[in-house]
Chain A
Amino acid sequence: MTNQQINVELNAQMSELVHVGDAITRLLSALTSTSDIEATIYELQLAVHEICANIIDHSYKDAENGKIKLALSLTDGNFIADICEQGEAFDPDAVPRPNLEDGQIRGYGIFLVNQLMDVVEYTSTAGGNCWHLAKQL
């Protein structure tokens, strides 16, 4: 099994989000390419992308020059993304589950992350805030 890690630091700007997908593609490039793997890569890209977009939208709402640090790893088929920032703390429990039957303007992001990943954890300390996402591939 491949054990790899990629660290990426992003400026907290929407224009930087494209690098999230590139980093995940690079991390998983050693896996044999099948349509299933391509779908998995897309889902991981979307989950990490949604967290980063959420950080830019909420944690760094009033901040310029914010940074997002991503540590992406693949260990024995387990994908892990640790995503840390120094912005305002976020309360994931305060995000209502979207009423999907009616169509929602907000709320799809965290819902999708929860659907796409096995583990979604958030911790906020004086040193910063971190999201921990994991999925067994």
Chain B
Amino acid sequence: METIVVSLNDRIDAFNAPQLREVFEGLLSAGHVNFIVDLRDVKFLDSAGMAALVTLLKRARQSSGDVNLTWPTLEVSQRILKLTKFDRVFTIKNNIADFNVTVSKTVTFPQ
């Protein structure tokens, strides 16, 4: 099963979350349903960024796909994701390789 990696970096917040949603929409429209969103290099993630991830998850699951995440390297970001119980909603691992999937394409955001 082919998996798309969306590699996020730096700030994902209310300012750029609308563009991130467009990237996700584009990938879904192209027929992709399995994603790993790589959060390792994210330095700041707010509720609008989280909402974009949950929206992708719901859309992907509607099409029998799934969205997995990697943990941000920053410990405080990990704590925020645990506060919001993201680790119950998503499968989150330390590295992309831990998912043992074939990555067909990697998209970076912001570019």
Task: Report whether chain A binds chain B.
Answer: yes
Chain A interface mostly helix, strand, loop or mixed? helix
Interface size on A, residues (CB 8 A): 30
Contact across chains for B89 and A45 when beta carbons are under 8 A apart? no
Nearest chain A CB to B98 CB, angstrom units? 21
Verify if B97 is at the interface (C-beta below 8 Å from A).
no
Verify if A109 is at the interface (C-beta below 8 Å from B).
yes
> Which chain A residues numbered 83 to 126 have a C-beta less than 8 Å away from chain B?
98, 100-106, 108-109, 111-112, 115
Please give the residue numbers on chain B whose beta carbons come within 8 Å of chain A beta carbons, in ascending order: 11, 13-15, 44, 46-48, 50-51, 54-55, 57-58, 74-77, 79-80, 83-86, 88-90
Nearest chain B CB to A88 CB, angstrom units? 18
Chain B interface mostly helix, strand, loop or mixed? helix
Select one of A101, A103, A115 contacting B83, CB under 8 A: A115
Contact across chains for B89 and A102 when beta carbons are under 8 A apart? yes
Q: Which residue of A lies closest to B17 (CB)?
A: A14
Nearest chain A CB to B102 CB, angstrom units? 26
Contact across chains for A108 and B84 when beta carbons are under 8 A apart? yes
Give the segment of A26-34, A36-44, A64-72, A128-136 that binds chain B: A36-44
Contact across chains for A100 and B13 when beta carbons are under 8 A apart? no
Q: How far is the CA of A101 from the CA of B74 in the complex (A)?
A: 23
